[in-house]
Amino acid sequence: MAAVITPIIGKPIIQADVMTSYVQKVNPAFNPEIARQFWIISSRYGLRGDIALCQSIHETNWFRFGGSVKPQQNNFAGIGATGGSNPGSSFVSVEVGVKAQIQHLYAYASKASLPAGEVVVDPRFSLVQRGIAPAWEDLAGRWAVPGYDRSKYVSLQTALAAGETYGQKIIRLYEAMAAAAPPNPGSNQPVLPIVVLDAGHGGTDPGAKGSGIVEKDSVLDLTLRTASVLRSRYAVDVRLTRSADVFVPLSDRATMANGWGAAYFVALHHNAAGGEGFESYVYPGTRSGPAGKNQDTVHASIMKALGPLGVKDRGKKEANFAVLRETNMPSVLLENLFVDNAIDAALLNNSDVRQKLAIAIAEGVATAMALTPDYPAGTPDYKIQAIEWLYTQGLLSDPIWRKQPDTPLPLWAEALIIQRLYTMLKS
């Protein structure tokens, strides 16, 4: 094994906007969301996501692809691809694709467990001998086989001595990116505020049941919808205590939020046991402080959406819930309707109502945290709603269009929308 020269483990140094600028000099169509996810996810794992992006540059020809792996697979490092007609793994989103790559690197570089609350999405995670490649230079012959040009070098060691292995080429790309960065690359990109969304229950803990609704599943769907709205509309780092049907202990949920340095913690639940309506909770004695002020804002936003539907306002309350007690930041727990009430359950079973509720939660959180909109100031609601519909339907994917809602789409983008719409109509 090569000497550890450039460790894979370590916080990213190059900021997402600098990564984006570097790639766009070669590929102007590069999606900035990819760089943002490399920064966010790798920071969570304590891994050099800025160098991981350079690995993707190497693997995808500057994110232009062209081989058996296609852009729509969100597979930025050839995971599972073996050449020829085998395209390898596909991932449902940019976020999941980046996370799979970060997890695969984490498996090579570390023997530690995944960060608390993280779920394995890398399909080849269990196939890696944990900790066998702690440095980027160690990936030749492991991630990439053979990891050097056999027509030029007789062995991996010869190529390593010449600086021409898989990992060394990645490091050279990183060095070029670092050299092109401004003197203080972090000055152009402020740290995003962190909001933690906590989907209650999960795994072996189903929560409340009624009217065909299982709380753990329903609140996870609501949480994912809320996260999507926040991420698409605001400059915010949204973290989830769970993003799948897994059990996460209450203390771990608080520990995650505290460790992330979150600015706000929002727990999403449903109610049961013979009532109706919506209510919210903060920790006892915090109603007069920031937690209470945030509660007022979020509660009002939700009731503005649910009130016209006949939902009862059960009030803003206090309770000694563990996630409210053990989190260090302002926090709120939302009891979103009763699963065992026929009227409430009918609303929860309505997808349109669930989306309205998710938007109301997101907008309340955004107002409480004074988040900066991703849309230009003054963009009318009807334009935002129309554009968000395109994203929701999967017809738009690049978040750049939110920043320029009045810019005409180029011909290639129009063609992509037509293709996607045609595929939807055929299915």
Half-sphere exposure of 369 (CA within 13 A, CB side): 29
What H or E segment, with its residue span, contains residue 282? strand 278-282
pLDDT, residue 427, reads 67
- 307 pLDDT higher than 80: yes
DSSP 302-365: HHHHHGGGT--EEEEEE---HHHHH-SS-EEEEEEEETTSHHHHHHHT-HHHHHHHHHHHHHHH
Higher pLDDT pick, 274 / 320: 320
Determine the 3-state secondary structure of 95 from DSSP: helix
CA distance 323 to 318: 13
pLDDT, residue 23, reads 96
69-83, 171-185, 322-336: least confidently modelled range: 171-185
Tell me the pLDDT band of 392, cut-offs 50, 70 and 90. Answer: low
Tell me the pLDDT band of 279, cut-offs 50, 70 and 90. Answer: very high
pLDDT, residue 403, reads 80
Active-site choice (59, 215, 335, 388): 335
CA 24 to chain centroid, in Å, comes to 22
Share of the chain above pLDDT 70, in %: 96
pLDDT, residue 183, reads 61
- 343 pLDDT higher than 50: yes
CA distance 75 to 69: 7
15-19, 100-104, 194-198: least confidently modelled range: 15-19
407: exposed, middle or buried (Cβ count in 10 Å: 0-12, 13-18, 19+): exposed
Determine the 3-state secondary structure of 86 from DSSP: strand
56-65, 253-262, 331-340: least confidently modelled range: 253-262
- 3 pLDDT higher than 80: no
Q: How many helices (H) and strands (E) does the chain have?
A: 15, 8
28-42, 100-114, 380-394: least confidently modelled range: 380-394
pLDDT, residue 187, reads 42
Does the pTM of the predicted model rise above 0.75? no
pLDDT, residue 199, reads 96
* Sheet of 313-318, strands arranged across: 237-240, 194-199, 264-271, 331-338, 278-282, 313-318
- 191 pLDDT higher than 90: no
Higher pLDDT pick, 165 / 219: 219
pLDDT, residue 185, reads 40
Q: What is the mean pLDDT of residues 91-105?
A: 95
Half-sphere exposure of 391 (CA within 13 A, CB side): 20
Q: Is 388 noted as a catalytic residue in this protein?
A: no
Asked if residue 159 lies in contact with residue 149, where contact means CB atoms within 8 angstroms, the answer is yes
For Cα atoms 257, 258, 263, give the angle at the middle one, nearest 5 degrees: 70
CA distance 56 to 78: 8
Domains in the chain, ordered, with CATH?
A: 16-187 (1.10.530.10), 194-369 (3.40.630.40), 381-426 (no CATH)
Q: What is the mean pLDDT of residues 233-237?
A: 85
Summarised one tens digit per residue, pLDDT across range 141-174 is 888 878 788 888 888 788 777 778 888 899 999 9
